[in-house]
Amino acid sequence: MLSFQVIEDRAAARAGGPEALAGRLPAVRSSDELAALPDAYYLSTMTRRIFQAGMKHSVINDRWPAFETWFWGFEPEKLMLLSEEQLEAAMQNPDLIRHWGKLRTIPFNAGEMQRVSQLESGFGRFLADWPDEDLFGLWAWLGKRFQRMGGHSGARFLRLVGRDTFLLTDDVIAALQASDVIDSKPTRKADKQAVNDAFVAWRAQSGRPFAHISRMLSMTVD
């Protein structure tokens, strides 16, 4: 397995130097910062990620202020009570993205988030307390607990809210293969463990969060 210094040097060279590299690294929030964010922020971001999947992100982001207004700031305790009639009314609003399947996730996911929040002293606190060494488990939990949070959406949601996570994009997988961590796409338990162990080792070497390591890896491949 490559040392992280080799990976960082390659990423910096491709970015145009250390300062340019720093400007391309994702923001990561501390545990206390995650815990301080309201549940409405997490539900809004989760729903935005659901709408982004398979669509141009800039289109969704441009429409999001209209979503925030229509759906009462995404407060879970209100949205878990949305009726079919209210969702049907949203389907008639040209300021929204009128996708019935994605709109229907809102009351369900609001209810699930509300339940988790009540048990864990806030959804942000729950995310912050999940062990960093079990990100695959967190992704799987999100996919099982919430609608349309499977596949890459769980990890993408975590990245959006600033919860430290690596991403397994095609570039990252290629870099992991080039670094002799895995031989193919990590679908088996053993391969996932190898990926997890590599990120933990690189974090220990560098002191950097998983999100930065992941981004740097992606920049080392053509």
The angle formed by the CA atoms of residues 152, 123 and 216, to the nearest 5 degrees, is: 40
Residue 203 to residue 173: CA distance in whole angstroms = 17
Q: Name residue 31's amino acid.
A: S
- The pLDDT of residue 222 is 80
- Note the pLDDT tens digit of each residue in 155-206: 999 999 999 999 999 999 999 999 999 999 999 999 999 999 999 999 999 9
pTM: 0.96
- Note the pLDDT tens digit of each residue in 97-125: 999 999 999 999 999 999 999 999 999 99
Residue 173 to residue 159: CA distance in whole angstroms = 17
Closest CA to 31 of 155, 160, 196, 161: 161
Burial degree of 49 (CB within 10 A; 0-12, 13-18, 19+):
buried
Q: Which fold has domain 31-132?
A: Endonuclease III; domain 1 (1.10.340)
Domain ranges of the chain: 4-28+166-218, 31-132
- The pLDDT of residue 7 is 96
The residue with tokens 């079919």 is 84
Q: Any idea of the CA torsion for 46, 50, 55, 56, to the nearest 10 degrees?
A: 0
